[in-house]
Structure 1
Amino acid sequence: MRWLELSPGYACNCRCTGCFSCSASESQQMGWPEVLRWLKWGRKGGAIHLWLSGGEPTIRRDFLRTLRAGKALGYERIKVQTNGMLFAYEGFAEKAIGAGMNEVNLLLKSLNPRIHDGLNRTPGSHQLLTKGLKRFNALDEPPRLAGDILLTTRNVKELPELIDHYLEQGLVHFNLWLFSLVDQGQRDLRRLVPRLTDCNDLIVEAYDRAKAAGATVCSLNTPYCLVPPSRWDMQFDAGGMELAVVNPGSPPFMLETSSIEQGIYVDECEGCALRPVCRGMRSDYLDLHGVDELQAIDQQTWLDHQHFGSKLDI
C-alpha cells in the first residue's frame, strides 16, 4: 500500500448525476475517532500518501483536523478531491493548506455553467468552482491542481477546450473518467454513457494539448485496444497505484478490486498480447454498447510499444 483513500462520509453539498453518494445514506459518517484510527492504520500499513474523498470532504467539521492529523502522521502527498465550492470563500484555501493539504483534484464537468450545474444538479456550483480556482491562483504557493473530468454525452465534445481552459488556470494533470451506470439504482442514465469510439479522437486531442503544455492526462476506463499505441502512456494502472479504499461502514479494499476498475474479458480479448496488463471493459458499458469496439492487439504491436509507462498516481 502506497496510498490511502479515506472517505469519511457520503454527505455532499452537490447532488451530482451518477455519483454514488447520492444513492448512499448521508447518515453513514465516520466519527473523529474512526477517522483517526484509519489514518493511523494507513501509515502502519505502509501508505505514504493520503487522498480524502467522499461525499464532499470539505464540508465535514473535522476536515481541517483530518488534514492536520495526516500531516502529523507523516503523509507526504495529501490530496483533496472536491467540487471546489467552499474554496470560493475567503480564507478557506489558506486554512486547508496550512493544515496540510498540498494537492487538490477539482471535479470539472463543463465550461458551460448550465451543463456543469445541470450535471451537478446544483445551481451556482460552476460559479463557486470558478471563484475557488481564482483564490488558489492568487496564492503565493498554491497547491498542485489537477482536474477530474467525468466524460458524458453532454460534455465530451468540449473535452479539448476544457483542457485548454484549465491549463490556463494552472492545472497540471487531468483524469478522464467514463460515466458509469454502476450503483445507479433504478435511475435510467444510459443516455449519458458515450461510446468510446466516439470519444477517442477527442481524448487523443486532449492528451496532445496537455502534453504540449507540459501537463499530463490519465484515462481510467479505456481498454488498450481503444487507445492508439502511441498514447498508451495515459492508461491507468489501478494495481500499480497500490491504493487502499476506506469507506464508511465497510471493510477496506484495494482499488483494483472495485466494481469501477474491475472489467471483464470477452471473446474478442482472446489472443490479445495485452491481456496480462489490461483490465478489460466494465460490464455496465458492455451491456449498453456491446463488444463491437473491442479487438485483440497483436504481439508485434505490443513489442513495438511495450516500453510505455502507465500513470500510477492520479
Structure 2
Amino acid sequence: MLRLTTQCNSACTHCTVADVEAHEARDARQALGEIVEARKRGCDELVIMRGEPTLRPELAKLAQAARRIGYRLVQIQTNGRLLCYPDYLDRLVRAGVDFFEVSLFGARASTHDAISADEGAFDQTVAGLRLLAARPQLGHLVTIAVLAANLDELVAMVELVAELGLARVQLNFTRPVRVDGRWRTEVLARLDDAGPAIRAALRRARALGLAASTEAVPLCQLDPEDRAAAETARDFVDVQVVDLHRRHASFADHHRQVRPHAPQCAECALAQVCPTTWAAYQELFGTNELRALNSADGFL
C-alpha cells in the first residue's frame, strides 16, 4: 500500500488523511523506486492509497511499470470523480489498473456533495461508477463512509450500488481525526446510532445479492450473518505500508494498536476475530457501546 499524496479534489471534513503529518508529496521517481523495492520484497499486489491518486499525471505510467515488473493486481483508492471521463478511465485500464475502490457518501446529490464539500461531486462519482459497471472485467469495491450526516441513507446507498450494476460494497465506520488541535467530532456517528443503520444496510445488501463487508464495526454491532465479512488484524499480516510519514513491514500489529480491545472484550467469545473500533473513538466516547458476546449470537 503506497501513498503518493494527501491532496484531493474534494474537501471532506471527515477526511482520514487530514491528520497525516505534513510531508511533501512523493514524486514519480520516488514512487517508482518504492514500487520496485516492494516487488523485490515479494509484494505482488499494489494499492495506491488516498489522497486522490487520479490527480497525479504519472498514475498510468506507475501502473504500467508495476505490471511490467510482475505485480498481478494494481488497485487505486479514489473518490471516482475523474473516472467519469471514459478516455481517462480507459487509459488507466490499458496501463494495468484493474481494481477500483470508490468512495460514496450519500444516495442523494445533496448529501454526497455536502460531505465532499464540492457541488457536482455526486454526479461525477456516480457517472464513474456507471462506467466501471460497464467494464465487468474490472474489480471494484464501493466504500461507504458511515457518518452522522448519512445514516438515514445507508440502505438507499446500497440500493444505488445495486442499481448501478455493481456487486461489492463495504461500510466503513469512520476514524476520528484531530486537526489543528481539535477533534472533528461533529461529523462522527455514534456506534449505537450507526449500528441499526449498518445492520439494515447489510440486510438489504444480502437481499440484493451484493457482496458486503465492514471496516471498524465491532462484531457486537453486527447481525450474526454479517460478522464473517468484518475485517480482522490477521487480514493485514502480509500488507506492507509505505505512507508519507511512516512505514509498516506488516500492518497487522499497527491494526491492533489503532483498534484496541476494550476492557469488556476480555469476556467476549469473539474477541480474537473482532475488528473492534478506533482507539480515538474509544478515547473520545468511552467503550460502553462495545458489548461482550458469549457466542456467535448472544450477549453476556
**TM-score normalized by structure 1?**
0.85
Distance 1:262 1:283 in 2: 5
Which one of 221, 228, 239 corresponds to residue 226 of structure 1? Answer: 221
State the partner residue of 2:280: 284
Q: Which amino acid aligns with 1:73?
A: I
Indicate how the Cα distance of structure 1 residues 22 and 225 shifts in structure 2: closer, same or farther if over 3 A, else same: closer
Which one of 64, 69, 75 corresponds to residue 68 of structure 1? Answer: 64
Distance 2:268 2:55 in 1: 46
Distance 1:129 1:15 in 2: 15
Shift of 1:254: 3.3
Q: 3-state DSSP class of the match of 2:216?
A: coil
Residue 182, structure 1, aligned to residue 177, structure 2: yes
Distance 2:273 2:129 in 1: 37
State the partner residue of 1:203: 198
TM-superposition CA deviations, 1:237-262 (whole Å, max 9, x none): 23323322111243345333447972
State the partner residue of 1:255: 251
CA contact (8 A) 2:202 2:212 kept: yes
Distance 2:90 2:98 in 1: 11
Shift of 1:23: 4.7
Residue 112, structure 1, aligned to residue 69, structure 2: no
Distance 1:26 1:121 in 2: 22
Q: 3-state DSSP class of the match of 2:271?
A: coil
CA contact (8 A) 2:215 2:275 kept: no
Shift of 1:187: 4.1
State the partner residue of 1:12: 8
CA contact (8 A) 1:15 1:22 kept: no
Q: Which moved more, 1:76-85 or 1:231-240?
A: 231-240
CA contact (8 A) 2:23 2:244 kept: no
How many aligned residue pairs are there? 297
Q: Which moved more, 1:18-27 or 1:284-293?
A: 18-27
Distance 1:218 1:137 in 2: 19
Distance 2:117 2:105 in 1: 11
State the partner residue of 1:310: none
**Which 5+ residue runs of structure 1 have no aligned equivalent?**
306-314
Residue 213, structure 1, aligned to residue 221, structure 2: no
Shift of 1:7: 0.9
Shift of 1:27: 6.0
Q: 3-state DSSP class of the match of 1:270?
A: helix
State the partner residue of 1:132: 128
**TM-score normalized by structure 2?**
0.89
**Which 5+ residue runs of structure 2 have no aligned equivalent?**
none
CA contact (8 A) 2:231 2:275 kept: no
* RMSD, aligned α-carbons: 2.4
Shift of 1:42: 2.1
Shift of 1:166: 1.0
Residue 164, structure 1, aligned to residue 170, structure 2: no
Distance 1:26 1:73 in 2: 31
Residue 192, structure 1, aligned to residue 200, structure 2: no
CA contact (8 A) 1:263 1:283 kept: yes
Which one of 75, 96, 100 corresponds to residue 100 of structure 1? Answer: 96
